[in-house]
Every structure is written in C-alpha cells, then in structure tokens.
C-alpha cells in the first residue's frame, strides 16, 4: 500500500530544505562579536559601511561562573569582517578616551 503524504510530511521536508540552504549560505560567512556596551552609532556605521548583517549569538562568558549569554554579532564576508573589526576597536578606543 503506498504511503499517503500528510501536511506534516511536507512541513518536515521544507524545514530540512531550509536547514540545508542555511548551512550552505553560512559556509563562507564570519561573525564579529560586538562587545556589550558598544555605542549604537558605531554598530550602525559598521553595518552600513560594510553591508554586515546583525545577528544574535549565544556565547559562553566567563565572569564569575561560566554562563551563556546572547550577544550581538555582525555577519559577513571575511574581508569585510576583518576591516570592520579594525574600525570597531579604533572607534571604541577613541570613544573611551573621550569618556575620561
């Protein structure tokens, strides 16, 4: 007796296809973790200038205990992420010096 396809079968198939596409799309992408407390204008500038995608990341943070937290990351091609990283730290340094 042939198997009847159900709506759940179709949903499961589409979800699997979406996961496969997502894995392929992320293959050449890199994330730049944004330190908590970074001024928003710096983040906006990096997103606009380098065409990076803001994403949430869950990372382990060792302060007192090892804890997982959601942090902001900017995702893009390696060259763009590396350039954005240099500008991020230069801007953070300038911002910190202005706060003194």
For 53-85, how does the pLDDT look when each residue is reduced to its tens digit (9 = 90+)? 898 888 887 777 767 888 899 999 999 999 999
The enclosing domain of 68 has a CATH number of 3.30.1370
CA distances from 87 to 10, 45, 99 (A): 46, 10, 18
* Domain that residue 53 falls in: 29-99
Write out the two tokens for 57. 């990341």
Segment 14-41, tens digit of pLDDT? 677 666 655 556 678 899 999 888 998 9
Instruction: Give the closest residue to 84 by CA, choosing from 23, 41, 43.
Output: 43
Q: Domain for residue 15, yes or no?
A: no
Predicted structure pTM score: 0.67
pLDDT band at 1 (very low <50, low <70, confident <90, very high): low
User: What is the tally of structural domains in the chain?
Assistant: 1
CA distance 88 to 2: 59
Q: Domain for residue 9, yes or no?
A: no
Q: Domain for residue 1, yes or no?
A: no
pLDDT score for 17: 66
């Amino acid at each position: 007796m042939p198997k009847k396809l159900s709506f759940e079968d179709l949903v499961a198939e589409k979800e699997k296809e979406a996961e496969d596409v997502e894995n392929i799309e992320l293959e050449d992408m890199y994330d730049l973790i944004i330190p908590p407390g970074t001024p928003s204008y710096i983040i906006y500038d990096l997103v606009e200038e380098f065409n990076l995608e803001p994403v949430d990341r869950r990372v382990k943070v060792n302060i007192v205990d090892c804890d997982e937290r959601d942090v902001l990351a900017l995702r893009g091609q390696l060259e763009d992420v590396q350039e954005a990283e240099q500008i991020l730290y230069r801007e953070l340094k300038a911002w910190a010096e202005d706060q003194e």
